[in-house]
């Protein structure tokens, strides 16, 4: 999301909160006049709000208070940038995803940007695939990958989401062909047998379950990642991560396994398994969580969190869930 759109959303939330002062309104008018880009961003946000979600917006405004503001932010959340398309899908999907907030809600159920991928999963789905060389990959929910094997290497391009690779050794008498997973930020080349790669926004997480992996970032930096270790690849290079409290590949076993981690990370792991939009307040996102939660039952996960932590969960049908800290005065 560009800065002007981000600011427009902030103004929308402030002005719609019911607590905007005259000074706020004057400041908004000044911001609007500062740049044509501000006016365009404001118009876009207003258009998104009115396109196909007006009944839900009316309900949100009736709720009032902070929850309404969170709901409004959810409605104007940025549509994810589409991955590289193939053939005829390239232009059509881009136009569809850019059109309305309703398209984003549809996208939450069926990832439209990945329809042309060789392998893909929808919301709440995981899938297992055996590749031509005997290697196997497990796709997390809302994930997509392309397979590009050649005579010199075995390449898997991760478009979206996460995969777990179990790499087969090259056949006896056959030339060695490196097994490489490519993301938007770099590559992970197998030096062993089993590792996980997750494409996040602006970065890639790699976790090694067996043996080691050679990481290479787009700026040419390399790092050999050993078994049990994790690392992020981003525009600045490669940075390792302490994994003492992490189980980043637990999704392959159908669970979220958290050990003193922020609730926001739990919700991030749950999003691919929930069709609607999930929004969490910054206060709730900072709560520390322990536990093992079943990904196949996202509604039960949310209820368990309500039962065991000071959080509230409010829903608007299947399309919006808002998580906040519980009001202790209630």
What local confidence, expressed as pLDDT, does residue 188 receive?
Answer: 97
Query: Is the pLDDT score of 210 beyond 60?
Result: yes
- 263 against 90, higher pLDDT: 263
Q: Please state the pTM of the whole predicted model.
A: 0.68
- Structural domain ending residue among the three candidates 217, 241, 265: 241
* 148 & 228 share domain: yes
What local confidence, expressed as pLDDT, does residue 96 receive?
Answer: 36
- 165 against 248, higher pLDDT: 165
Residue 250 has what DSSP assignment? G
- 109 against 320, higher pLDDT: 320
* 211 & 183 share domain: yes
Most confident of 66-80, 94-108, 125-139: 125-139
The first and second tokens of residue 38, run together, are 């501000």
Q: Per mean pLDDT, which range of 42-56, 117-131, 212-226, 269-283 is the poorest?
A: 42-56
* 31 & 52 share domain: yes
The first and second tokens of residue 104, run together, are 């984003």
Mean pLDDT of the chain: 79
Q: What is the CA radius of gyration of the chain?
A: 22
Average pLDDT estimate for 317-329: 74
* 235 & 271 share domain: no
Element (H, E) at 12: helix 3-16
Q: Kindly give the interhelix angle for 36-50 and 3-16, rounded to the nearest 10 degrees.
A: 60
- pLDDT grade for 25, boundaries at 50, 70 and 90: confident
Supply the CATH number for residue 276's domain.
3.55.50.30
**CA–CA separation, 61 and 322 (whole Å):** 14
* 130 & 219 share domain: yes
What local confidence, expressed as pLDDT, does residue 119 receive?
Answer: 94
* 226 & 128 share domain: yes
The first and second tokens of residue 34, run together, are 């500062």
Task: Note whether residue 101 is domain-resident.
Answer: no
* 141 & 198 share domain: yes
Supply the range of the domain harboring residue 163: 119-241
* 218 & 262 share domain: no
Q: Per mean pLDDT, which range of 28-37, 49-58, 110-119, 250-259 is the poorest?
A: 49-58
Task: Note whether residue 82 is domain-resident.
Answer: no
* 151 & 258 share domain: no
Most confident of 169-178, 235-244, 298-307: 298-307
* 133 & 227 share domain: yes
End-to-end CA distance of the chain: 36
- 225 against 107, higher pLDDT: 225
Task: Note whether residue 103 is domain-resident.
Answer: no
- 113 against 322, higher pLDDT: 322
Query: Is the pLDDT score of 134 beyond 80?
Result: yes
- Structural domain ending residue among the three candidates 241, 275, 290: 241
Cβ(225)–Cβ(208) below 8 Å: yes
- Structural domain ending residue among the three candidates 209, 241, 273: 241
Task: Note whether residue 85 is domain-resident.
Answer: no
Beta-strand pair 311-316/288-294: unpaired
Task: Note whether residue 330 is domain-resident.
Answer: no
* 201 & 265 share domain: no
Supply the CATH number for residue 184's domain.
2.60.120.1440
Element (H, E) at 252: none
What local confidence, expressed as pLDDT, does residue 169 receive?
Answer: 87
Task: Note whether residue 81 is domain-resident.
Answer: no
What local confidence, expressed as pLDDT, does residue 319 receive?
Answer: 64
The number of distinct structural domains making up the chain is 3
* 220 & 141 share domain: yes
Task: Note whether residue 95 is domain-resident.
Answer: no
Task: Note whether residue 123 is domain-resident.
Answer: yes
Q: How far is CA 107 from CA 53, 170, 325, in A?
A: 15, 39, 28
- 46 against 184, higher pLDDT: 184
Q: Is 254 left (phi over 0), alpha (psi -120 to 50) or beta?
A: left
């Amino acid at each position: 999301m560009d800065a002007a759109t981000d600011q427009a959303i902030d103004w929308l939330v402030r002005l719609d909160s019911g607590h905007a002062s005259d000074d706020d309104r004057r400041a908004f008018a000044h911001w609007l006049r500062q740049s044509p880009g501000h006016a365009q961003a404001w118009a876009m946000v207003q258009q998104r709000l009115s396109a196909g979600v007006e009944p839900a917006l009316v309900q949100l405004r009736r709720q009032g208070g902070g929850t309404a503001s969170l709901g409004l932010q959810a409605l104007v959340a940025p549509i994810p940038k589409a991955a590289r398309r193939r053939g005829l899908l390239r232009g059509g999907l881009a136009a569809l995803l850019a059109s309305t907030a309703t398209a984003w809600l549809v996208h939450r159920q069926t990832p439209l940007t990945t329809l042309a991928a060789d392998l893909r999963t929808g919301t709440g789905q995981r899938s297992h695939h055996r590749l031509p060389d005997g290697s196997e990959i497990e796709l997390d929910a809302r994930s997509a990958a392309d397979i590009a094997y050649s005579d010199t290497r075995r390449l898997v391009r991760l478009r979206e989401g996460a995969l777990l690779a179990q790499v087969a050794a090259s056949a006896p008498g056959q030339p060695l062909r490196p097994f490489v997973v490519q993301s938007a930020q770099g590559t992970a080349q197998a030096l062993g047998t089993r590792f996980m790669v997750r494409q996040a926004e602006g970065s890639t997480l790699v976790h090694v379950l067996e043996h080691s992996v050679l990481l290479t970032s787009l700026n040419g930096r390399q790092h050999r990642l050993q078994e049990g270790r994790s690392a992020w690849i981003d525009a600045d290079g490669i940075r390792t991560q302490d994994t003492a409290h992490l189980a980043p590949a637990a999704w392959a076993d159908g669970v979220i396994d958290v050990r003193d981690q922020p609730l926001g990370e739990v919700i991030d792991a749950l999003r691919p398994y929930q069709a609607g939009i999930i929004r969490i307040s910054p206060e709730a996102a900072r709560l520390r969580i322990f536990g093992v939660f079943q990904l196949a039952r996202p509604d039960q996960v949310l209820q368990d969190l309500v039962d065991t932590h000071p959080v509230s969960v409010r829903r608007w049908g299947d399309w919006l869930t808002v998580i906040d800290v519980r009001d202790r005065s209630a």
